[in-house]
Structure 1
């Protein structure tokens, strides 16, 4: 069972073994939401299923009579990419033929930014056997891995069954209650300029949640696009935490997506599972009564 990362060679051996396996391509572009699926159609690992951030990995919501878009009442979080309920997510997994006995492998072309979302969601749904392809599609192609542009055949519907939540989802109320408490350490994965409030291209308010530490998600990767060695990640997170209890870490970003590489990196480094505030800054800043810090 692979539960954090899987290398290109390990994936090739897994494919050759005939073990139950499903590969997901999660490539996406926030500024051009159609681009990820187009990239998938042009080249993907044979057999891979496309997992669209907007339509598969977020709550699609409903359109009200006045034309405004709202998440379903059972959405698991708010923000720009609200998490669907676990039940809706299980329905999507079943629709693409994913079954409980399968090993999931997720990848993208975006430094594990978007495939991390599916990695976390599968854990949250109770499925431990999910790993991110280290280095993404770029590493696969550099090692001579085959890609295809052909349309994948549809899968028979499965009956994916939810298990206990293996990763913790933090709510806005919990995060706000923990401000200033030694039992909570917030880590913000956004770029430094957004964290400091110098610029904000996506959300209506600039800044960060008071007390949050900043670790841009790209810092987890080396120049080759692979995650840094576990010992190096451990040293870097120890330096960031400065004695704070890692068990109290809550990760967030703009909309709960790019925070996940930090979650994954901490697990690679040997820490236990840490929490995700999926609503993140985009949910936090929508209420003007919540405090904002800049600088």
Structure 2
């Protein structure tokens, strides 16, 4: 029996925890890195899979690569990185060698937003034992811990079965109800301040969803290690912009990636009434009937 089989798994695990549990029979480690190339032949910023880095630059011991481009995103959707349908998710988890009882630890080589995205996906499909590695590859490698190179060992598929979905998931219709005042919930945008206010924007309509408050996702991180701030500091960061009074909190960003880091942080502090808007502004701004606001946030009551 695995040493952690009878214990609760928090949403965030430390490098020390993972080092102790390497080799546990029900543990699977997944890398979920995606890079943004700003210099390429097209002249436009483009996302790039982290598979090359996983294969060539070393990786965490016994880890596997999770393809967020195709396997864990809906390839038929018009928006990139859209949550997959249940059937596709089950097929991808099966190919990754993950069972419903697997203890899953996810990391990336950036600041944790892609690991948080995959963590959120598994949570929305009801996977119980899934966590993000705090600080990811940067913290693990900077501590001089084992890095695996060379041959990538194959793994056997597992027939994945999940029980339910819906946790941590908000739709465009849910957000519309919040904007109209039909749902007493709070919208928290994880974009940088200049993007939130509309001073800069890469989208066809600048600004934010009306009634939102701003909490840039990088303010939740320790820049030295890429680890999330301690829970008391995370709580203080949220309380500075939104009352943590039990109301539903919906996080969003430009494309549903950074906002999952906000959902993860809320889970770390034990705030249970939270969800993430998967389509985020990429979906919202495409519907010209939906309003946008510019300028600073208005205080929430």
Calculate the TM-score normalised by the size of structure 2. 0.87
1:21 to 5, 27, 36: 27
Checking the alignment, whether the CA contact within 8 Å between 2:49 and 2:67 is kept in structure 1 is: no
Give the secondary structure class of the aligned counterpart of 2:113.
coil
2:19 to 9, 12, 19: 12
Any gaps of 5 or more consecutive residues in structure 1? Answer: 62-70, 72-77
Checking the alignment, whether the CA contact within 8 Å between 2:231 and 2:268 is kept in structure 1 is: yes
Checking the alignment, whether the CA contact within 8 Å between 1:81 and 1:279 is kept in structure 2 is: no
Checking the alignment, whether the CA contact within 8 Å between 1:188 and 1:213 is kept in structure 2 is: yes
Aligned to 1:74: none
2:63 to 40, 48, 54: 48
The whole-number CA distance in structure 2 between the counterparts of 1:292 and 1:80 is 21
Any gaps of 5 or more consecutive residues in structure 2? Answer: 1-7, 38-45, 296-301
Q: Are 1:235 and 2:236 matched, yes or no?
A: yes
Question: Which deviations, in whole Å up to 9, do the C-alpha atoms of 1:126-169 show, x marking residues without a partner?
Answer: 11111111111111112221112324233222111012226231
The whole-number CA distance in structure 2 between the counterparts of 1:246 and 1:151 is 49
| CA RMSD across the alignment | 1.7
Question: Which deviations, in whole Å up to 9, do the C-alpha atoms of 1:212-269 show, x marking residues without a partner?
Answer: 111111111123321111111112211211x364431111111111101111111212
The whole-number CA distance in structure 2 between the counterparts of 1:268 and 1:169 is 17
The size of the alignment, in residue pairs, is 277
**Where in structure 2 are the equivalents of 1:128-277 lying within 5 Å?**
128-165=128-165, 167-181=167-181, 183-201=184-202, 203-223=203-223, 224-241=225-242, 243=243, 245-277=245-277
Checking the alignment, whether the CA contact within 8 Å between 2:185 and 2:248 is kept in structure 1 is: yes
How far apart are residue 93 of structure 1 and its match?
0.4
Checking the alignment, whether the CA contact within 8 Å between 2:31 and 2:115 is kept in structure 1 is: yes
Question: Structure 1 149/204 Cα, relative in aligned 2: closer, same or farther at 3 Å?
Answer: farther
Question: Structure 1 275/20 Cα, relative in aligned 2: closer, same or farther at 3 Å?
Answer: same
**Residue range with higher mean Cα deviation, 105-114 or 43-52:** 43-52
Question: Which deviations, in whole Å up to 9, do the C-alpha atoms of 1:13-49 show, x marking residues without a partner?
Answer: 1115x24111011111133433522211222112211
The whole-number CA distance in structure 1 between the counterparts of 2:279 and 2:178 is 16
The whole-number CA distance in structure 2 between the counterparts of 1:129 and 1:146 is 24
Checking the alignment, whether the CA contact within 8 Å between 1:96 and 1:154 is kept in structure 2 is: no
The whole-number CA distance in structure 1 between the counterparts of 2:133 and 2:25 is 17
Checking the alignment, whether the CA contact within 8 Å between 2:66 and 2:96 is kept in structure 1 is: no
Give the secondary structure class of the aligned counterpart of 2:170.
coil
Question: Which deviations, in whole Å up to 9, do the C-alpha atoms of 1:263-291 show, x marking residues without a partner?
Answer: 11112122114111100000000011110
Checking the alignment, whether the CA contact within 8 Å between 1:79 and 1:281 is kept in structure 2 is: no
Calculate the TM-score normalised by the size of structure 1. 0.88
Checking the alignment, whether the CA contact within 8 Å between 2:96 and 2:157 is kept in structure 1 is: yes
The whole-number CA distance in structure 2 between the counterparts of 1:45 and 1:147 is 5
Question: Structure 1 271/116 Cα, relative in aligned 2: closer, same or farther at 3 Å?
Answer: same
Aligned to 1:105: 105
